[in-house]
A and B are shown apart, each in its own frame.
Chain A
């Protein structure tokens, strides 16, 4: 099991919307193959950007409110937040270089 932060419907606002750092949340589920494919990339990025960007995961099977609030109908979806606003949405399992390019725009 990885040590990447997991957020829930209960903790989402405090951890992400009110985060001082920019943030990225990986919306995923156990049943989703492409989520498994992009998972290791997200974990690597969470280490590489530690202290600069808060990177977390949310299980959409266990948390229904937050995905609905952001209109998520595809997983994996990565949403990038800055100052409590959605800065970018990345749909599907994209390669690291693309995700990292979008992350750098948050800094």
Chain B
């Protein structure tokens, strides 16, 4: 069996940065990504808060650049799915669809997926008007009314993006003020096509063969109302992609991987970086920083295990 120094899982900003550093350190490293690299940034139309790009950069371009930079220094990227991880202090086994690999260290950077609403009608109408990606599906709603659920940066930015296509966006938020960055809020407030529905949660999705509307409830007054919308875009937070590590690593109450300051998880030699990690703020810039930290912590870990063995 081939022995790697480190295997990186996930090809978003955290994984690609860790791979860049580990490849430059001449470690025996491979990165596994089950789809094409890029991660959730690929659903972002325009990135304005990643330093170094004063006019912003498209999510596509930024991730193409991160990928080619890592590959330039020799990072091997495998488009293959990891089916199983066996993580212990003494042995770390990565099983893909085709082979079994052994590695001294692992960096888990598998990211997170959008949380569903969990309300009546959602499953039935999945793919028929419910969306988690405005840049993908916005053009299907030309001149129609849609709802955006959520009040964070993504929800409000995507609502602004949708105004390019739709006739009206109702931002439905459970509180009476947004969590989004002030600048983003100001832009949304200035948009004539955006209307805010405060203190309100969705209770059911209406429609049989396609979304016809949404039933809402005001959390302060208890009043139930309906909005006729053809599309519902959901941005109410994320759930981590931790299927492979459940039961093997310590997770927080929301299921994100708990690490120390050096990105090490509860098993020595296992590190986590990016959106999958338990932390305050999920950004491209924080993911990149954590990827770099994890890669350096791996080097230190390998040196230590070399001297102790």
Contacts and interface: CB of A to CB of B under 8 A. Distances in A.
Number of chain A interface residues as a range: 20 to 34
A61 B231 CA distance: 19
Number of chain B interface residues as a range: 20 to 34
A32 B127 contact: no
Nearest to A100: B97
Interface in A21-65: 29, 31-41, 44, 61
A106 B301 CA distance: 48
B209 interface: yes
Contacts, number: 82
Contact of B38 (A33, A92, A95): A33
Given A32-B135, A97-B81, A37 B127 contact: no
Nearest to B42: A33
A37 B210 contact: no
Contacts of B184: none
Contact of A34 (B126, B136, B139): B136
Given A29-B136, A31-B139, A41-B36, 15 more contacts: A33-B43, A33-B135, A34-B35, A34-B136, A38-B36, A40-B35, A41-B35, A61-B139, A74-B130, A74-B131, A74-B140, A76-B136, A77-B127, A95-B34, A97-B83
Interface of A: 29, 31-41, 44, 61, 71-77, 89, 91-93, 95-97
